[in-house]
């Protein structure tokens, strides 16, 4: 009886302890919706202006005469345009992040949007290849907002709602890509499509791709105006301005210096620990030493930053390869194992995927993060790239057997897997911001990550396009060698994923 009594008491104490923990766990802080919406609006023009040229870039390249009438060279020059954009962005993105650490986020965001607007207008007026190259390079050089936006989102969020904030980013990206594909496809060469209306204006005969470019530029202009009027510069702490952390009474109230986000099953409703942390200590979800912060760039060259940054680069490489392979394989003739789709069909399929992807990321990522934790979720979702690449040969098999229903079924499976494989972006962004040594270096940290991503996105198209052509030319593994090589690369990256931390620990600034 005594043992039963003791067991009962132990059980009651355990339940009481769990109840106190659940009661003590603070509810997620409401996100500043207006500021978050503006940042998402700022982010969207980059994807829109990057994707708007895809539907007509091949025709534009041919119209310049650079190919000398040989259409086989079109892909080389079109790929060069995209590679140069990401290559120039890689050179400048880190500097924009470091500038934003010094002068503030809002001025850099405004300059970036203004630069995108000018470069798109210039691109629309480009009818010679050298003008196209200069316009695209200018866009890459002036567009430093993607890293700055991530830094700003971290500053306006806290440990309780940062996952929800970053879950909205894929929606902005997806919306930008969707609008870009639609605008570029529908509005290109309007004089030929609507000769009785738009065809009356000589401007659209001389510059057939000006209309989609000016529409894309108008979206960037609208974002610029909204940012100028309504966006508020995130308040910078005394530590950020003076380079040191001021010890106040808050440091005496709580002996706890770090709040580790623990991911429990969803039914426990425990998102964060401990209640002993006061508001000031969880206000900013970035790591910070209590010593004086160093603004030297070498301060971010630490494992907590380098490992996530490398993963961001590898993820960008794999994702860019997937984006290149989709139109390549889908547009290749069926006799060579492709689908023979038109550009309109490819654009429509990609637009539907973009919309679906954005919505799923917003609603599923925070829930999956709480259930599995950042590391497990990153590894599990990244593994879905194995499905996206391995389904290409299966789709080709269905086409050769004239199994149209089976082909579309596998295409749907491929794009569902691609949606899941997009989740690692949100995970790795959290890791990057969590690893920043201080708030003063948050912009530089995201700039470094974006630089790495841009480098890999510049390399990806050339590598995977060459592998695709070599596989078909040499009939390697029936022309499918490129897909199995990509699967091997994915498995190697999954092995490297074991070096990521298991949890995210936010400390006060």
Tell me: the pLDDT tens digits for 122-141? 998 888 888 888 988 888 88
More confident residue, 288 or 104: 104
pLDDT band, very low/low/confident/very high, at 333 (cuts 50, 70, 90): confident
In angstroms, the CA 142 to CA 154 distance is 22
Any domain includes 191: yes
Please give the pLDDT value at position 268: 38
In the predicted structure, residue 264 carries a pLDDT above the cut 50:
no
Any domain includes 299: yes
Q: Is 229 exposed, middle or buried (0-12, 13-18, 19+ CB in 10 A)?
A: exposed
Please give the pLDDT value at position 217: 92
Q: How far is CA 256 from the centre of its chain?
A: 34
56 by DSSP, 3-state: which?
coil
Any domain includes 17: no
Among the residue ranges 198-202, 234-238, 262-266, the one predicted with the least confidence is 262-266
Any domain includes 286: no
Please give the pLDDT value at position 52: 84
Among the residue ranges 55-59, 103-107, 353-357, 487-491, the one predicted with the least confidence is 55-59
**Highest mean predicted confidence (pLDDT) among 379-393, 400-414, 428-442, 462-476:** 379-393
Tokens of 192: 């030929």
260 by DSSP, 3-state: which?
strand
Q: Taking each helix axis as running N to C, give the angle between helix 129-142 and helix 74-103, from 0 to 180 degrees, rounded to the nearest 10.
A: 30
> In the block, which residue shows the tokens 């934790």?
373
185 pairs with which residues across the strands? none
In angstroms, the CA 275 to CA 278 distance is 7
Among the residue ranges 182-186, 265-269, 324-328, the one predicted with the least confidence is 265-269
- In the chain, the percentage of residues whose pLDDT exceeds 90 is 12
What mean pLDDT comes out for the span 25-43? 80
Any domain includes 22: no
More confident residue, 354 or 316: 316
Please give the pLDDT value at position 144: 67
What mean pLDDT comes out for the span 226-231? 92
What mean pLDDT comes out for the span 34-38? 89
8 Å CB contact between 392 and 480: yes
Average pLDDT, the chain: 75
507 by DSSP, 3-state: which?
strand
CATH of residue 194: 1.20.1250.20
Please give the pLDDT value at position 261: 43
8 Å CB contact between 154 and 438: no
More confident residue, 337 or 134: 134
Any domain includes 263: no
Where is 258: in which H helix or E strand? strand 258-261
Domain that holds residue 401: 33-232+294-507
Any domain includes 244: no
Greatest CA separation found in the chain? 98
Q: What secondary structure letter does DSSP report for 279?
A: G
What mean pLDDT comes out for the span 353-363? 75
Any domain includes 283: no
Please give the pLDDT value at position 269: 39
Q: Taking each helix axis as running N to C, give the angle between helix 442-473 and helix 424-435, from 0 to 180 degrees, rounded to the nearest 10.
A: 140
In angstroms, the CA 241 to CA 446 distance is 19
pTM over 0.85: no
In angstroms, the CA 286 to CA 36 distance is 18
Among the residue ranges 14-18, 146-150, 160-164, 207-211, the one predicted with the least confidence is 14-18
Where is 179: in which H helix or E strand? helix 169-187
Tally the domains of the chain: 1
In order of 6, 242, 288, the CA distances from 239 in angstroms are 51, 5, 10
In angstroms, the CA 346 to CA 356 distance is 16
**Highest mean predicted confidence (pLDDT) among 13-22, 387-396, 398-407:** 387-396
């Amino acid at each position: 009886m005594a043992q039963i009594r003791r067991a009962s008491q132990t059980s009651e104490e355990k339940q009481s302890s769990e109840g106190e923990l659940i009661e003590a766990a603070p509810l997620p802080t409401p996100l500043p919706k207006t500021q978050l919406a503006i940042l998402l609006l700022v982010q969207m023009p980059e994807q829109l202006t990057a994707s708007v040229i895809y539907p007509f870039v091949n025709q534009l390249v041919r119209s310049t005469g650079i190919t000398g009438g040989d259409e086989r060279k079109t892909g080389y020059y079109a790929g060069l345009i995209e590679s140069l954009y990401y290559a120039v962005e890689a050179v400048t993105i880190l500097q924009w992040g470091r500038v934003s650490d010094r002068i503030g986020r809002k001025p850099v965001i405004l300059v970036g949007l203004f630069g995108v607007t000018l470069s798109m207008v210039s691109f629309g007026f480009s009818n010679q290849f050298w003008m196209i190259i200069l316009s695209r390079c200018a866009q890459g050089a002036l567009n430093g907002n993607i890293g700055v936006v991530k830094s700003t989102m971290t500053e306006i969020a806290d440990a309780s709602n940062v996952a929800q904030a970053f879950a909205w980013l894929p929606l902005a990206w997806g919306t930008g890509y969707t609008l870009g594909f639609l605008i570029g496809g529908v509005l290109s060469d309007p004089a030929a499509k609507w000769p009785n209306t738009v065809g009356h204006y000589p401007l659209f005969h001389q510059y057939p791709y000006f209309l989609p470019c000016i529409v894309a530029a108008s979206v960037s202009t609208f974002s610029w105006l909204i940012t100028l009027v309504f966006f508020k510069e995130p308040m910078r702490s005394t530590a950020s301005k003076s380079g040191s952390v001021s010890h106040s009474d808050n440091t005496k109230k709580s002996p706890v210096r770090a709040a580790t986000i623990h991911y429990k099953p969803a039914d426990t409703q425990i998102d964060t620990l401990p209640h002993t942390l006061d508001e000031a200590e969880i206000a900013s979800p970035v790591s910070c030493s209590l010593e004086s912060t160093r603004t030297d760039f070498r301060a971010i060259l630490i494992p907590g930053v380098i490992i996530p940054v490398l993963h961001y680069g590898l993820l960008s490489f794999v994702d860019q390869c997937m984006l290149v392979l989709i139109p390549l394989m889908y547009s290749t003739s069926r006799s060579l194992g492709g689908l023979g789709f038109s550009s309109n069909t490819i654009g429509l399929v990609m637009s539907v995927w973009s919309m679906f992807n954005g919505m799923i990321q917003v609603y599923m990522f925070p829930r999956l993060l709480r259930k599995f934790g950042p590391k497990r979720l990153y590894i599990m979702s990244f593994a879905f790239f194995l499905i996206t690449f391995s389904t290409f040969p299966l789709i080709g098999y269905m086409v050769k057997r004239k199994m149209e229903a089976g082909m579309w079924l596998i295409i749907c499976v491929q794009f569902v897997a691609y949606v899941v494989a997009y989740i690692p972006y949100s995970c790795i962004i959290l890791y990057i911001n969590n690893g920043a040594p201080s708030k003063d270096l948050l912009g530089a940290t995201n700039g470094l990550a974006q630089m790495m991503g841009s480098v890999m996105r510049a390399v990806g198209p050339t590598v995977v396009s060459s592998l695709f052509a070599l596989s078909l030319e040499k009939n390697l593994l029936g022309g499918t060698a490129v897909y199995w090589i990509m699967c091997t690369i994915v498995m190697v990256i999954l092995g490297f994923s074991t070096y990521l931390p298991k949890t995210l620990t936010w400390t006060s600034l």
